[in-house]
Chains A and B, each alone.
Chain A
Amino acid sequence: MRQTQVIIEPRRGLKWVDWKELAEYRDLFFFMVWRNIRTRYAQSALGIGWALIQPLFSMIVFTVIFGRLAKVDSNGVPYAIFSYTALVPWTYFANALTESTSSLVANANMLKKIYFPRVLLPLASLVARAVDFAIALIFLVVLMLWYRLYPTWNVLVIPLLVLILVLAASGLGLALTAMAIQYRDVAYAMNFVVQLLMYAAPVVYPTTLIPEPYRIWYALNPMVGVIEGFRSALLGTIPMPWHWIALGGLSSVAMVACGLLYFRSRERFFADVA
């Protein structure tokens, strides 16, 4: 809106991110994130406490069912913290993905009434969920102290893992939200697909349970490297799985590239189909 001359004409084809424009809209982005955080737990008694309840209760249920009853292997650490360590990144991934997928539909009215870089909406959802992630992470530290598990120097890898996590969630989120605005089926499918997806990542079981020859394919799922990396760095379950992280990193970069390009190419229809 601050440019002095804007040319409006039909554009098709691939577009990459317009960084300059994004920088101009940083205030709006900030308030979108803020609005997301402020309104998520509005008028609730527990408020931000809900950020903890979701992974915590999943952990309890998984520990009873998979840890006690099914006796799933947990690489030599207590099952509770084994699953909670995975649930911290997983919960972020699942929530960020669901929320960014619904972001365009939820703000359809805004899309139809005003111009702003459309990517801000799904990105704001991703960033806003970081608050929940941080809270769940703090509780992870508490759990580690409780179990007297101390991290190694490998914790320095965690920022990289978080980056992969965010990239994977944004890549998928961007593509899915661009689809969801035209095909509402995506929104309906999201709820249970995300639940099912959890079993495609080593959340309730260790990757070592996957037969060796398949692991390389399995690790194309960025969440494999992320979750096993978290466990290795914080709990010392297995040696740092660099190859899985590298594979996952590559595929998450590919996801972001495809997601963004797809999003940007569909962008021009959003206001019309919303």
Chain B
Amino acid sequence: MGDLAIRVERMSKLYRLGQKTANSDTLAGTLFSLAAAPVRNLRALRSLTRFDPARESESVVWALKDVTFDVKKGEVLGIIGPNGAGKSTVLKVLSRITQPTQGRAVVYGRVGSLLEVGTGFHPELTGRENIYMNGTILGMSKREIDGKFDQIVDFSGVERFLDTPVKRYSSGMQVRLAFAVAAHLDPEILIIDEVLAVGDVEFQQKCLKRMEEVSKGEGTTVLFVSHNLGAIRNLCTRTIVLMKGQIVCDDTPERAIKLIMGGRSSGSNNNTKGEGWQLRGGDGRVRIVAARVLDKYNVERESLVSGEDAIFEFQYVNSGVDVFDFSMIIFDSTGVAATSFSTLFNGSKIEASKKGVVRCVVPRLPLNIGTYNVGVMVFDRSTIYDHIPQNALSFNIPISVFYPTGQTPSFGKGLTLTDCIWDADSLS
């Protein structure tokens, strides 16, 4: 074992999907299928735990397929990937919540897993009681909690409500209390899933800070799943990209993030086969078929100049839609939305033709230097016609003329640029 914390060897996990039942459109057929429902239901329920991977392929899904990786002691491993990629499943198998279907993993050391904050919280119990309940569920002993009790209470900042049932807490207070308990867990291997998704910004900062302390200061091995690519880049020493249950990249956070963002830096942007396009949604009545960015001279570009006019152009085909709204979100290389544009904001719907282009002209492009990609959505009220969440197209901004000096905020100090006027007076 030596300096190994986790070894995962060809691990696979099979899950059953819901099966579509044929709907009959005759009365007799409906009655018959109603009568047969119990038998069908029983079969469906039984099949949840019976698999024959050789025979069936449609109604099952490999949430993980032959996943192999090692984690060294003290490493902070990020796991990223689109929804349903199997990230939570990896963590569940490693925390022994569910069994793998095939393969094997060995975990060296005391594991603390946080797939949720506040597991075991009961609304009728008081804050004090819930600290003990939640703490023991996370694997602390009563003695350990006794010893850390004051620290936990301090951290949570809810002393005054300690003997009030948590159902009388605000939801934020519940989260703080729960996190306070979790933050005082000191395992050798910490497994965290997306817990940052809850809570306000302050809380998220606190979580991240605590994670940094735990990993850097105390040398804890951390497995960390998040959609917050910024956090992944800041905290992780290594990052795995999972897609459809398989590892597609095991590298530095930068490279992994680039892959996820589909950083297509070379070749034409006018490319409908990009990775981002595969995640597309919508009912398909409108389909975007090409996307590109143009500079102020109407020339197609991959690089734009910040502070000069830019044009985003999308070609679409349409079957049966009269008008639609169009939105685009610009993400930076870490997946943070820099800004959005939408016809909804301007109050100008787009009259659809059978085939057409939508152009969004942005005067004096107010973006900082960096690499960006665009997600687009074509929709009308509650119906989404087409949706390419990320990477509909990408571009980079190497220089800026937004401010006369050519200066822009340094990295990490802002994504968008805004005009401002400075003024000073002397006070006598």
Contacts and interface: CB of A to CB of B under 8 A. Distances in A.
B45 A5 contact: no
Given A4-B110, A5-B108, A8-B94, A27 B48 contact: no
Interface stretch (B134-142, B213-221, B299-307, B323-331): B134-142
B61 to A, nearest CB: 12
Nearest to B139: A1
B85 interface: no
Contact of B103 (A2, A9, A35, A266): A9
A35 B122 contact: yes
A3 B110 CA distance: 6
A271 B92 contact: yes
A182 B49 CA distance: 9
Given A182-B45, A273-B48, A6 B97 contact: no
B18 to A, nearest CB: 13
Contact of A8 (B1, B106, B119, B141): B106
Interface string A32-63: 00110011001100000000000000000000
B335 interface: no
Contacts of A109: 116, 119
Contact of B95 (A9, A43, A110, A114): A114
B334 interface: no
A42 B100 CA distance: 39
Interface string B78-113: 000000000000001111111111111111111111
Contacts of A38: 124-125, 129
Interface string A225-268: 00000000000000000000000000000000000000000101
Interface in B248-270: none
Interface size class of B (residues with CB under 8 A): 35 or more
Given A1-B139, A42-B124, A272-B49, A115 B97 contact: yes
B115 interface: yes
Contact of A111 (B97, B138, B139): B97
B179 to A, nearest CB: 15
B120 interface: yes
Contacts of B100: 8-10
B101 A273 contact: no
B45 to A, nearest CB: 6
Interface in A2-28: 2-11, 27-28
A115 to B, nearest CB: 4
Counting chain A CB atoms within 10 Å of each CB, which of B1, B106, B136 scores highest? B136
B224 interface: no
Interface residues of A, number: 37
A4 B109 contact: yes
B169 interface: no
Nearest to A41: B124
Contacts of B141: 27
A272 B97 CA distance: 9
Contacts of A113: 97, 115-116, 119
A6 B106 contact: yes
Given A1-B110, A7-B106, A27-B136, A114 B142 contact: no
A35 B133 contact: yes
A35 to B, nearest CB: 6
Contact of B15 (A30, A266, A272): A272
B93 A8 contact: yes
A266 B15 CA distance: 16
A80 B138 CA distance: 48
A2 B186 CA distance: 12
Counting chain A CB atoms within 10 Å of each CB, which of B120, B132, B187 scores highest? B120
A114 B99 contact: no
A136 B111 CA distance: 43
A147 interface: no
A110 B116 CA distance: 10
B97 A5 contact: no
Nearest to A28: B136
B97 A271 contact: yes
A10 B101 contact: yes
Given A9-B104, A116-B137, A110 B119 contact: yes
Contacts of A116: 137
B73 to A, nearest CB: 12
Contacts of A269: 48-49
A27 B104 CA distance: 30
A30 B142 contact: yes
B99 A10 contact: yes
Counting chain B CB atoms within 10 Å of each CB, which of A110, A114, A268 scores highest? A114
A112 interface: yes
B80 to A, nearest CB: 21
Interface in B132-177: 132-133, 136-139, 141-142, 165
Contacts of B139: 1-2
Given A112-B92, A182-B48, 17 more contacts: A1-B110, A1-B112, A4-B109, A5-B109, A6-B106, A6-B111, A8-B93, A9-B103, A27-B141, A30-B136, A113-B115, A114-B119, A115-B113, A183-B45, A268-B98, A271-B98, A273-B49
Interface of B: 1, 15, 42, 45, 48-49, 92-113, 115-116, 119-120, 122, 124-125, 129, 132-133, 136-139, 141-142, 165, 187
25 contacts: A1-B111, A1-B187, A2-B139, A4-B109, A5-B108, A6-B96, A6-B106, A8-B105, A9-B99, A9-B105, A10-B99, A30-B136, A35-B129, A38-B129, A39-B124, A109-B119, A110-B120, A112-B92, A114-B95, A115-B97, A183-B45, A268-B99, A269-B48, A271-B92, A273-B48
Interface of A: 1-11, 27-28, 30-31, 34-35, 38-39, 42-43, 109-116, 182-183, 266, 268-269, 271-273
In the A-B complex, the 5 residue pairs with the smallest Cβ-Cβ separation, listed nearest first, are: A42-B124, A1-B139, A115-B96, A28-B136, A9-B104
